Amino acid sequence: MLPLHRPLLDEISLAAAAGAFVALVSGVVANIRVARQRKQLSTLEGPHGRESVLDALDRGTAETQALRAELTRARHDLDLARSELADALRHVAVVRYDAFGDMGGRLSFTAALLDDSGDGLVITSINGRTESRAYAKGVKEGNSDQSLSPEEVQAIGLALGRKVKA
């Protein structure tokens, strides 16, 4: 072994002690900063005041589950409304005409009232000078078991959105 000088050993010891002190101070400062960050992250401002991050995540998860359940109920209600609406008589068309050549004013009419599948009824009112007659015929899938007049066929076609010659 080489003999070392005492002043050199003292300087090395002092430098090591100073380095250790700087490391200790840096460690304490870093620890204080980390503690502050943890404290800031551990509590958040929620709708009801301060809450922990875990509480906020739990609340968010519960709200998400509640919204999903509400969305499922809304979809079910919408499907139910659509199925009920399909049976509603919501396709309507009216054709007015002169049933008799000697009368004007297009007082006679045929009205078709149908649902989405073309089921419903067609109502015809024929108006003359001295009398009026009304007829109602059932319609199934756009057709009837009874013979249909050209005006009734036209009204059914218009109600179902078909191109019909007048």
How many angstroms separate the CA atoms of 109 and 155, rounded? 9
pLDDT of 137 > 70? The answer is yes
Mean pLDDT of 33-38: 86
Of the chain, the percentage scoring pLDDT greater than 70 comes to 89
> pLDDT band at residue 139, thresholds of 50, 70 and 90?
very high
DSSP structural state of residue 102: T
pLDDT in tens, 60-103: 899 999 999 999 999 999 999 988 887 888 899 999 998 887 77
Mean pLDDT of 115-128: 92
Helices (H), 2-103: 6-42, 53-86
Q: What is the pLDDT of residue 77?
A: 96
Contact 116/99 with Cβ under 8 angstroms? no
SS3 state of residue 101:
coil
Residue corresponding to tokens 């009026």: 132
How many angstroms separate the CA atoms of 120 and 106, rounded? 24
Q: How many CB atoms lie within 10 A of CB 27?
A: 10
pTM value surpassing 0.75? no
Structure tokens at 154: 């036209």
pLDDT of 48 > 90? The answer is no
Give 146's contacts (C-beta < 8 A, 6+ positions apart): 137, 138
- Name the region of 159 (left: φ>0; alpha: ψ -120 to 50; beta: rest): alpha
- How do the domains of the chain map onto residue ranges? 40-86, 91-159
Q: What is the pLDDT of residue 21?
A: 93
49 against 81, higher pLDDT: 81
List Cα–Cα distances, 34 to 5, 100, 119, in angstroms: 43, 97, 74
Q: What is the pLDDT of residue 49?
A: 72
Q: What is the pLDDT of residue 3?
A: 63
